[in-house]
Structure formats: structure tokens, C-alpha cells
Chain A
Amino acid sequence: MATVQVSEAEKVYILHGIRDDLRVDGRGCEDYRHMEIETDVVSNTDGSAKVTLGHTAVLVGIKAEIGKPRPLVPNEGYLEFFVDCSANATPEFEGRGGEELGTELSNTLYKVFNNKHSVDLKSLCICPGEHCWVLYVDVLLLQCDGNLYDAISVAIKAALFNTKIPRVHISTDEEGGKEIELSDDPYDCMRLNVENVPCIVTLCKVGHRHVVDATLQEKACSVASLIISVTHKGTVTCTRKVGGGSLDPESIFEMTEAGKRVGKALHAPLMKVLQQEEHLGKKKQKVGFLG
């Protein structure tokens, strides 16, 4: 991830500020920066979203393809995640520099969605044991300003909300083989229920307190972070600790509670905004990438 250099005196200033619940930009310890979400930005995907959180910009595109279900779960579809750290974000990602971070992010996303409730995988089944929908979720990091996990998870939720999977009809032809027909109407599609899709909250331990949505300077002052994915009901689907420092079990508990609280509060406004955008329909003003 992009790093900035911070002097010792700046670190002390940031530390004391967080201790007094007044961060450098005036936020409290559990406040997010200004977030902008736009869906349906990439025309040749089935669902897409772009999220800007401070200066972090993430683009998610989802493509639905027909594939073979996994042998152990023949009546479910599945999701495949791929995170690409573009060299646009920071020169450190040039060439293969961004691969390590990309793999780490994808693995975390697999863990976050690896449960029965986040996405209704049974609705992705077309023909048990033979055909199912595979959703390829591609994440592209455009700009890096700290807090990648949160931005990516919000973008994925928005993109899944925006995904339109075409309806298919299975018919058997003369030889007994199955034929898949897409419906003629391009607007006849299936939408996913994203109520239970979790959002990731990253909590960085700075001094004795933790902060949500840390900037790069605050990240430079923290040695350990906790990544929690929380659903709208407050259920935790995945927890990960990153960073070289150690965390006290008590602080892990405190941070988990704070993460649950913050994550739960993130879902309702997010769904409201997504539904408002959906209602605008054709009247929506497209902002795109240069806005």
C-alpha cells in the first residue's frame, strides 16, 4: 500500500489528537470521510460501481457467466474475486509490485463472502449439477489514499445491487441435451438481494485508541489494524488482523464491538442512497471518471 513519511513530532501530534477524539481533519475516531458512489459506470459489465472515499478511488465490475457448479455444492453458483492494483494508484504498483497486495485483498474477499447468507448462491443455480451462474467480481484500484478494504466492500455491495443477470430458460432438445436460451427482452433480468452482503470496517490501533477510516498519515502511526466484515444485522462474517504490531485481547474485543457498531450504521444509509440512485433511472446525471 502507498506509504507516506511522517516525522516523530507529527506522529506525536496525531497520537494526542486521536486520544482526544479530534483527528487532523476534524473527524471523530469513528467518522468516515466523504464517500461518493456511482453505479452503472462500465457499460459492458452486468453490474458496476465506482466508490471514492477521500482520495481513494475503487472501480468494481461484475460479469455473470454460465459455468459448471462446484462438485460439493451442485445447486449453488459462486463468486470469483480478482483485485487489480493499477499503477495509476501509486508508482509502487508498477509492473508486479501490486500483485502481493492484490492477492491479499482477493483472499480476504473470499473469506468475507464464504458463508451461506451473504449472497443467495442458490438463486444463481440454473440446472443443478450442470449449469450455474458464476459472478466474476473484478476490482480495480484507481487511487490509493488509505482504507482500501472499506472502499472495496462498499463498491462490491453497490455493484452487486446494480447487477442485472439475464433470465434463462432451459429446454431439452431432441437428443435429450439441455439448451439454454436467453430471453429476448434485454430488460428481463434477475436482481440479487444484497441485504446480507457485508461491509468491511478497518480499525487501526493508534496509541491506546482505534480509528475508523485512517488516512495514510494515521496509518503510518499505527502498528496493527483489525479488519472486520459486518452485515446489516451486526453479524461478523470475517475478522483479520494485519500489521506487524501486537493487539491485546481486550483491545481486540473493544475494536470488534466498535467495528460492529460502525458497520451496522453503514448499511442503512448505503442502501438508501443506492435505491435513490436506482429511482432516478434515466434522469440520472452520469458523472463518470472526469467529474
Chain B
Amino acid sequence: ASSFHSSVPHRRHLYKSLSDSTLIGRDGQVCVVLTSDVTAPGHGTYVDEDKLTASVAGEVQRVDKLICVRPLKTRFNGEVGDVVVGRITEVQQKRWKVETNSRLDSVLLLSSVNLPGGELRRRSAEDELTMREYLQEGDLISAEVQSVFSDGALSLHTRSLKYGKLGQGVLVQLSPSLIKRQKTHFHNLPCGASIILGNNGFVWLYPTPGQQEEEAGGFYTSLEPVSLSDREVISRLRNCLLALSAHKVLLYDTSVLYCYESSLQHQVKDILKPEVMEEIVMLTQQKLLEQEG
């Protein structure tokens, strides 16, 4: 099994060995050593004087003879099917440019969004001119990656009622490597708020919508004031997310929930103090170990 290492960028040598996989220690860290065959250098590695060396600090992945190192600190590298939360940066002809913490701005084509009322028709010239009425610069959206262009830019789509423009809530920007890949990224947490854990590291916290609002499909954003109790839950969740991220804990609905429960004994604004953060994260990690063995 490969382990997560701290993000100190020093070189790790992956030694060729004649014996079968053995574990050797280097600088106190345990590296996985490969079998006797010649290994192929993949992403994140390079050959330095006959030794296969990692060029980035991260997790070692091995597929047969191919060794790659996936860096911990990286921009979002999207794959088809990923759920992302992004911010509109530009409105162009027939498409929007969306910022998703990747190397290039992602693209949301006009043909990839749902028209109001859910109509299915060809996009007309009028639709092009009224693009800004739907999504403006600065708006937040939740979308899914439809495809990846040859240059690495992502093409997004919101062709489902669960995606679309986001209303009132709080955005937390974290590292993409901390978000666990799961079956669903939309969760209605039992503590009273909802969360979208975007694969790109953008996490959206919002008050759980009532029954009738669910079918709107993201076109209508309610500007009604959110109740104080909901606000407190959202603020607490936000601080918990920042605490977990500062201690490099993998984020998914269970870990966020455990952190929320461990933080209830403190006031919301105290959670960001370093001592309190450490305490809460330790409790969360203990609980996670107990529950998941």
C-alpha cells in the first residue's frame, strides 16, 4: 500500500532491486521498492543516473511496470463525470468560461445548459443574446464534466436538475487532492445544511432547500433571508472544513459530519484557533478510525 507523505518536496529514490519487493527506509520514510524487472517511468518521475526518481512529492501509483507519482499539491485535473463547482469568469459567444481551479478555464457551452422550463429546443440567436440573464460573471454553478478538450480544458454541462446556478450559501476553496471520490457529491447533512463537495476542491455549503424549490433546476435563486439557525450550522461547517483541510484530512460526508459533531462543544468562531482546530481534528480522526477500522 502506498502512503501519503508530507508535502516537503525532497526527492525520493525508487531503487531498482534484484530481490522481490522490499521496503526500504529513506529519511525515515518508507518507500515501496519494485520488483526486479526494469520499470517504466510514468508521470511525476524521471530517470537520474540509472535511478528512477520522483520529481514531485505525492502518492506512488503502480500499474504493472508503470510507476507514476501523483502530486499532492496540484491544480484540478478533471475527468469525465466529475462534479465541479465553478465561478463564471467570462460570457462569450455561445459559451461561458468557468473558473474551476484547473490549469485552464473550463468551458460551459450554451447547448449544455437546460433552458428555463426544461424545454428541449434548438438554441436560437435570441438565446445567445440573453445568456447574461441566466449566468453572469461572478455567478457560481455546479456542473458535471462532459468531456476533456485536447488541450486539457474541461467541457462542462448542467443538463440535469441537480446542477445549475447556485443560490445563497458559502463557498470554501480547498485543495482538490483532499476531496474523496464518491458515488455522489451532493449531500443533505443531518445537521441541517447541504453540501456539494466539488472534485475540484470547491465546496459549496447552502441551507437545505424546501420541497417545492427542488424542481426549479437552478434558474430561480431565492433571495429570502436564511434563518439564523441555518446560518450557524453553515458557519460551523465552513470552519470545520477549514480545520480538516489544514490538517490534510480526506473530505467526504462522514468526515465532515464527525468533525461537525466534535466541534459542537466550542463556539463557532473559536474553531479557527490553532489549538481548538487540532483538538477537533484529533477527535474526528479517532472517530473515523473506530468506525471504519
Known contacts A7-B140, A22-B235; A13 and B168 CB within 8 A of each other: yes
Interface contact B169-A34, CB-CB below 8 Å: no
Give the residues in chain B near A26, CB-CB below 8 Å: 232, 235-236, 238-239, 267-269, 271
List of 7 A-B pairs having minimum Cβ-Cβ separation, nearest first: A26-B268, A26-B269, A26-B235, A13-B168, A16-B225, A5-B138, A9-B167
Q: Taking the nearest CB of chain B, how far is it from the CB of A226, in angstroms?
A: 23
Give the residues in chain B near A17, CB-CB below 8 Å: 226, 231
For B269, the closest partner residue in chain A by CB is A26
Give the residues in chain A near B272, CB-CB below 8 Å: 25, 33-34
Provide the bound-state CA to CA distance between A190 and B166, in Å.
Answer: 59
For A16, the closest partner residue in chain B by CB is B225
Chain A residues in contact with chain B, CB under 8 A?
5-10, 12-13, 16-17, 19-20, 22-28, 31, 33-34
B113 within 8 A of A: no
Interface contact A22-B231, CB-CB below 8 Å: yes
Give the residues in chain B near A6, CB-CB below 8 Å: 138
Give the residues in chain B near A28, CB-CB below 8 Å: 269
Decide if the interface of chain B is mainly helix, strand, loop or mixed.
mixed
Partner of B269, one of A5, A13, A31: A31
Partner of A13, one of B170, B267, B268, B274: B170
Provide the bound-state CA to CA distance between A22 and B269, in Å.
Answer: 10
Interface contact A24-B223, CB-CB below 8 Å: no
Partner of A10, one of B168, B231, B267: B168
Provide the bound-state CA to CA distance between A9 and B168, in Å.
Answer: 5
List 5 additional contacts besides A5-B137, A7-B87, A26-B267; criterion CB under 8 Å.
Answer: A9-B166, A10-B169, A25-B268, A28-B269, A34-B272
Q: 27 A–B contact pairs at CB < 8 A?
A: A5-B87, A5-B137, A5-B138, A7-B87, A7-B139, A7-B140, A8-B138, A8-B139, A9-B140, A9-B166, A9-B223, A10-B171, A13-B170, A17-B226, A22-B228, A22-B231, A23-B235, A24-B238, A25-B235, A25-B238, A25-B272, A26-B232, A26-B236, A26-B268, A27-B269, A28-B269, A34-B274
Provide the bound-state CA to CA distance between A8 and B166, in Å.
Answer: 10
Give the residues in chain A near B170, CB-CB below 8 Å: 10, 13, 24
For A15, the closest partner residue in chain B by CB is B225
Q: Taking the nearest CB of chain A, how far is it from the CB of B41, in angstroms?
A: 31
Partner of B239, one of A9, A13, A20, A25: A25
For A19, the closest partner residue in chain B by CB is B225
Interface contact B273-A34, CB-CB below 8 Å: yes
Which of B167, B235, B269, B273 counts the most A-chain CB atoms under 10 A from its CB?
Answer: B269
For A36, the closest partner residue in chain B by CB is B274
Provide the bound-state CA to CA distance between A6 and B225, in Å.
Answer: 17
Give the residues in chain A near B171, CB-CB below 8 Å: 10
Give the residues in chain A near B182, CB-CB below 8 Å: none
Provide the bound-state CA to CA distance between A10 and B226, in Å.
Answer: 12
Interface contact B235-A24, CB-CB below 8 Å: yes
For B228, the closest partner residue in chain A by CB is A20
Provide the bound-state CA to CA distance between A92 and B89, in Å.
Answer: 17
Interface contact A12-B239, CB-CB below 8 Å: no
For B140, the closest partner residue in chain A by CB is A7
B221 within 8 A of A: yes
Known contacts A22-B232, A26-B268, A26-B269; A7 and B223 CB within 8 A of each other: no
Give the residues in chain A near B166, CB-CB below 8 Å: 7, 9
Give the residues in chain A near B228, CB-CB below 8 Å: 20, 22
Give the residues in chain B near A34, CB-CB below 8 Å: 272-274
Give the residues in chain A near B269, CB-CB below 8 Å: 25-28, 31
Q: Taking the nearest CB of chain A, how far is it from the CB of B217, in angstroms?
A: 15
For A20, the closest partner residue in chain B by CB is B228
Give the residues in chain A near B169, CB-CB below 8 Å: 9-10, 13
Provide the bound-state CA to CA distance between A212 and B35, in Å.
Answer: 60
Which chain B residues numbered 200 to 258 have a C-beta less than 8 Å away from chain A? 221, 223, 225-226, 228, 231-232, 235-236, 238-239
Q: Taking the nearest CB of chain A, how far is it from the CB of B35, in angstroms?
A: 38
Known contacts A25-B272, A26-B239; A7 and B267 CB within 8 A of each other: no
Give the residues in chain B near A20, CB-CB below 8 Å: 225, 228, 231
Q: Taking the nearest CB of chain B, how far is it from the CB of A162, in angstroms?
A: 23
For B171, the closest partner residue in chain A by CB is A10
Provide the bound-state CA to CA distance between A13 and B166, in Å.
Answer: 12
Provide the bound-state CA to CA distance between A34 and B272, in Å.
Answer: 7
Provide the bound-state CA to CA distance between A221 and B137, in Å.
Answer: 15
| Interface flags, B49-87, vs A, CB<8A=1, else 0 | 000000000000000000000000000000000000001
